[in-house]
Amino acid sequence: MATYDTQPTKKEADGLSKISICYLNQQGLLTQGFHSTTLSWGRKHSKTTSSIRLHVALWRDEHQSIALQYSGKYQGKKKDFEYDIELVTTACNYGGARYWFVCPVTQCKRRVGVLYIGKETFACRHCHNLTYKSRKEDRHHSMRWIVEQYQLSKKIDGLESQIKRQFYAGRPTKKQRRLNELYSRLFDVSLV
């Protein structure tokens, strides 16, 4: 009897609301001192928008963190959330440092560059059981047509070297008909 995988497929992270270290750095929020800003985002097919208040505190030789303040639904009721996310740095090869979030989930504590909003709180994609669309694509399938085109062109080259006569009694020979068929398959580029 065949067994089936009963685990649900992972949700894709690509379209979810998130906070990115790269974005915060581009906005100039990862410089020494205290900075505050509000981030907003909306859904494509909905008029609702969400916003979150960020307070970034970066002091040398002290605890570096980002404080998040936002409202959301928790068990069907509106709830205000406020918590800190620790920041850590790693040295870059050519000098300077790169900032990372430390996932706020107690059991995780991974060093990540992006945090996604789940049902209530922000956490890394591992804690929310997320994946990327590109990871779900079949790599062999996406490259299959290139391999097929290469194999067809090798067959064509071999058959062309064997053909001594293209026509006999005004009609194409068997090898010429086979060559014509291979050419039509080679130039019939359908990626479906």
Dump pLDDT digits (tens) for 38-81: 887 766 555 656 778 888 888 766 778 888 888 776 677 788 88
* Same domain flag for 126 and 148: no
* Same domain flag for 97 and 51: yes
* Same domain flag for 115 and 67: yes
Residue type, 58: L
* Same domain flag for 83 and 152: no
* Same domain flag for 128 and 155: no
| 99 has pLDDT over 70 | yes
Q: Is residue 16 part of a domain?
A: yes
* Same domain flag for 19 and 85: yes
Handedness of CA 112, 113, 117, 122 (dihedral sign): positive
Confidence bin at 4 (pLDDT 50/70/90): very low
From CA 98, how far away is CA 90, in angstroms rounded?
Answer: 5
From CA 153, how far away is CA 148, in angstroms rounded?
Answer: 9
Q: 173-189, pLDDT tens digit by residue?
A: 999 999 999 888 887 75
pLDDT above 70 covers a percentage of the chain that reads 82
Q: 3-state SS of the chain: helix, strand, coil percent to 5?
A: 25, 35, 40
From CA 31, how far away is CA 56, in angstroms rounded?
Answer: 9
* Same domain flag for 119 and 24: yes
Q: What is the mean pLDDT of residues 159-180?
A: 90
* Same domain flag for 31 and 77: yes
pLDDT of residue 97: 86
For the chain, give the mean pLDDT.
79
Number of domains forming the structure of the chain: 2
| 11 has pLDDT over 60 | yes
Q: Map residue 56 onto helix, strand or coil.
A: strand
* Same domain flag for 67 and 159: no
Cα 93–chain centre separation: 25
Confidence bin at 111 (pLDDT 50/70/90): very high
* Same domain flag for 76 and 25: yes
Q: Is residue 169 part of a domain?
A: yes
Range of the domain at 157: 140-187
